[in-house]
Structures are given as structure tokens and as C-alpha cells.
Amino acid sequence: MSSAKEHIKNLVDICYEKGLRNIVISPGSRNAPLTIAFNRHKKINCLSIIDERSAAFFALGMAQQLGEPVAVVCTSGTAALNYAPAIAEAYYQKIPLIVLTADRPAEWIDQVDGQTIRQQNIFSNYIKKSFQLPQEPSHADDFWYSSRIVSEAIETAKFPEFGPIHINIPLREPLYQIKEYPEKSHKTFETVTTQLSLPNTAVKQLTEEWKKAKKILIITGLLKPNDKINSSLNKIAEQNKVVVLTETTSNLFGENFNRSIDRLIISIEDEGPEEFIPDLLITIGGPIVSAKVKTFFRKNQPKKHWHINASNDYVDTFKCLTRIIPVAPEQILPHFEIASAIQSDYRELWISKDKKLFGIFRKFLDKIPFCDLKAFDLVLNAVPKKTDVQLSNSTPVRYSNLFNTFAKRNLFGYGNRGTSGIDGTISTAAGAAYASKKLTTVITGDLSFFYDSNALMNQHLPNNLRIVIINNGGGNIFRIIDGPGQTEELEQFFETKHNWSAEHIAKAFGVDFYLCKDTQNLNKTLEKIYAPQHKKCCVVEIKTKGDLNSEILLQYFDYLKQN
């Protein structure tokens, strides 16, 4: 038995045949045929999440971890608009999200009918491709066309690179009838997977340029864990003319990698940058968190900048791009593993600087009172090794790059860095934990948590999720960045100062809650929530003083310059 609307039953069958195994459905009436058809398919896992914005981020987190398409379904009207933030994030992070929106019949658009808006191509600016199914197929060609659209849409989400697609589905009443169908197969098609590779002449040219360069700097942005890239970069980093700068979200680990970009850049700027500027800059991966490194290389430009990216995106982050290499990094990096005859102290220059600065950082941490920076250190050192950490935007993802803990403890770092928005942090982490089954810690600021607190309104909230809120009473990032701190609007409009607590939100949804205000209490709580016998999702709220946090961070940067 399935929905009496045959083209919807066919859509579900094709989704399954093309590899879709998970779908997140938000309740509604217009999407009833989709809900019935998906729920009655015995091999598709259906989850129900009320809030569409949270549901879409939850699905995004699942797809991020599974590396396969995950679908979302909603009713008509503004429900679809609530998907927009997660779709934009999926687009820029290249995550295969299948967006299915039920719609009212075309004749009722702009006729002041309830829950009726213009939904066709509604996500056109941040979707790989939009589709619309025939309204009420009756002819055999209508059914063929409908099935072809579904096949094409899912193929588009997967090839030539991952990304979100949208299928809008106009549906007339009746919506709730069911029908029994005979078993049948569907004609579908699939794309033969290909992989871009460079011609030998191009490889030869690039390797020759590599050999001639005396100072090579590789900066890695957002990357999923990739053993091939990690292995190649470790071999390349053995060359004394090569420096590899990584970030938390790069998910790369190596003894010769430099972890804290901001710490290094601040020190280099103060001492004079000349000897640190490379002949050849190479960037790999997606968005880079550090604003300081972007500013530094826009001012101090190397002669050459290669960007390695299979997407063939024309990304010129540092305003000095000279070459796009449109292949997967693991395809081209092995060609650079053989060391050239050039001797250089470039790698040692950066590594010795990094070691000195890290020693200064540890001394500074020992001196400071309980604050955001201290709390972050305690949390990262308590998170079990080889587990996942999801980081909210603003200060948490930036703080993470001040520490070497991710590399030391083999922690995998994720975050919504495609668009770097405040929304969806907890929902994404919940979806990721649900899909991966790994212990997952999300570290978030207070405003990010409150903004996405509907993530707790979820009957599928996984027990392997730990939510850590660093509550400094507002958007403390605005006390750190240049500009807002000098305005009279700081507290009300930028920082949005408050005295809220997450306690009653957590308790309203039956989630364990812990409040920590000092080092001793935080250490005891972390020991408890990470104990093997603790098998329930929980919220840990760490209260710090907003004014003190910004002062300490500025003191830290001054401390670096003075030592």
C-alpha cells in the first residue's frame, strides 16, 4: 500500500533505487502523499522533525557524515522558505541534500489561497538545479517524464560533485488516499563516474615549477577527512622548503604541519613578513576560517598562487591567483612528493616559530582566570580521542584554531563554514551524530544555541551528542573584531547582551542539564558526561564574563608580540 497518487509512489521507488535511504519529514497536509509513500516504503528510514529549518540542518548533518544524499520533505507555503539557510549551506559546502516541497495546484498561485506562494525555482540562487513534477499526470508520457525528472535530479545531486537539488511537487486534493500496487521496476539511468586528470604535459610543467620554487606554502581550508590527502601532505611536508598550514576544519594531522595560523600571522606581522612570504602559495579545500591570513597575503602577495579544486571554482581569496588546477587534490599531490635538490630553511623557520609561540600560549593559559579561552582548553582536553567536534561560527571555530588539541587528540572538526551563519549549529550536529553513531561534541556560543534551540524539539535527538554552550552573555565576537566596540550601539544591537540560561529549554525537552561557572566544576562535569556509563544527550552551559573574555583575548595577542 502507498499513496494513491501513482507518480508519488514512483518517485519514492526511484529515490530508493538510486540510493536514498534516509528522509526527514516535517508534518503538513499538502505533503501527505509524500509522507504516506515514503513512510510505507519498508527500506527507507523516515524521521519526523517539526521545525523545517531544524529538519533541513539535521538532514544536512546526516548527509555530511554519510557522504550520500539525504532528503527533506515539507508542506507548501512558507514551510519551504525555512529550508533556505540549510540549502545555502549545503550548496557552498557541497553536500547532497534532496529537497522535496509539496505545492498547491498552479491555478491557485497568487489567488490568496492559504499556504500558497510562488515555489517554483524558489531556491534558484543556491541550488544546483530546480525541477517541477507534472501536476496530475494521466498520460503515459507524463509518468515517464515525472520519473525521468526524479532520476535526473538525484544524479545532479551526486555528479560531477555533491550539492543540493530541489523538486517542487504540485498536488491536488484528495491527498490521503492509499492504494495497492503490483510489483514493478522503474526505468532509471545513472551517470558513469569519471574523474578529471591532468595531461602529462601539464603535470610536467607543474612539477618543474614546484622544483624551482625555493619557498612553498600550502594552506588548507575546509576538508572532509581524507587519508590520501593526509598521507601525501605528510610526505610533502618532509621537504625543507615546504610549509603546510592547517585549520581545525581541515581534518589533517602531521608532525610537520603548523596548526595555529592566527598565532603565527600576528607574530610575523610584528617582526616583519619578508622572509615568510613564499614564492609559491598553494590552497586546497573549501573556506578558510582565519581572517588574519587572508589579510596578510592580500597585503604580502606571493609571485604565484595555485588553487587546487576539482570543482574548478575560480576562487581568488588572496587576490593573487595565477593558476587553477581543476582536479581532486589526491590526484595531483603525489606528483610533488619527490623532494627537489634545493636546500632551504623555510620549513624550519615556520616550525620553530610555531613551537616558540605555542610555549608562550601555554604559559599564558596557566596565568589567566576562568574565561572562554580557559573553558575551551578544558573542554578540548576532555573530549575523547578520535571523536567528532562540531563548531559553531563566530568565536568557537576561531578559538579552536588557537589550540593544537585537535591534532594531538585526533579530533575531527566540522562546522557550517559554507556560509558561516549563526543558524543550524545544534541541528546539524544532531543530524551528524545520528548518522555517524560516533560520540559528537558540539561547542557553541550562547546566541547560536538560543537561535537554534528548536533543535532539541526532536524525538530523534541522539544519545551520543554532547552540547557545550559557552555563555558569555551575548555575541562576544563583537567585542573582539575591529569596529563595534567603539560604538554606543555595541551592547544592544551588536553584542545583544542578555542574561538568559539554557536550563529551562533543556528541561522542557527532557535533556539533562549541567551549569558550570568555574574550573573545578567544569572538570567534574566533563569527566561525568564523557564517562563510558553516560549514555544520554546533555547540555553543559559554561557561564563566563563577557567583558573579561575580550580583555583576555586582546591581552593574549599583546602577550605574543611582547614575547
pLDDT tens digits, residue range 133-142? Answer: 999 899 999 9
Q: Is the pLDDT of residue 237 over 70?
A: yes
pLDDT for the residue 255: 93
How many other CB atoms sit within 10 Å of the CB of residue 180? Answer: 7
Q: Which CATH architecture has domain 200-352?
A: 3-Layer(aba) Sandwich (3.40)
Q: Which helix (H) or strand (E) holds 400?
A: helix 395-400
pLDDT confidence of 268, banded at 50, 70, 90? confident
Angstrom CA distances, 203 to 281, 309, 504, stand at 17, 15, 60
> Which pLDDT value is given to residue 496?
77
The fold of 368-562 is: Rossmann fold (3.40.50)
pLDDT score of 77 more than 90: yes
- Residue 555: pLDDT over 90: no
The amino acid that residue 277 corresponds to is I
- Quickly state the pLDDT bin for 361 (edges 50, 70, 90): very high
pLDDT range class, residue 517, cuts 50, 70, 90: very high
73 pLDDT exceeds 70? Answer: yes
Domains in the chain: boundaries: 2-175, 200-352, 368-562
Spatial distance between the Cα atoms of 210 and 199, rounded to a whole number of angstroms: 17
Asked if the model's pLDDT at residue 485 lies above 90, the reply is: no
Res. 501: pLDDT tops 90? yes
Average pLDDT, the chain: 92
SS (H, E, C) 94-163: CCCEEEEEEECCHHHCCCCCCCCCCCCCCCHHHCCEEEECCCCCCCHHHHHHHHHHHHHHHHHHHCCCCC
Q: Can you give the pLDDT at residue 491?
A: 60
* CATH value of 2-175 in 3.30.420.40, 3.40.50.970, 3.90.550.10, 1.10.3720.10: 3.40.50.970
Res. 486: pLDDT tops 70: no
pLDDT band (50, 70, 90) for residue 190: confident
Asked whether the predicted pLDDT for residue 551 surpasses 90, the reply is no
Q: Judge if 2-175 and 200-352 fold alike in CATH terms.
A: yes
Q: Select from 557, 548, 554 the least CA-distant residue to 372.
A: 548
Q: What is the mean pLDDT of residues 284-309?
A: 94
Residue 85 above 80 pLDDT? yes
pLDDT for 481 equals 59
* pLDDT for the residue 557: 79
More confident of the two residues 416 and 550 = 416
Nearest to 524 by CA among 535, 543, 547, 540: 540
pLDDT for res 473? 85
Segment 286-307 mean pLDDT: 94
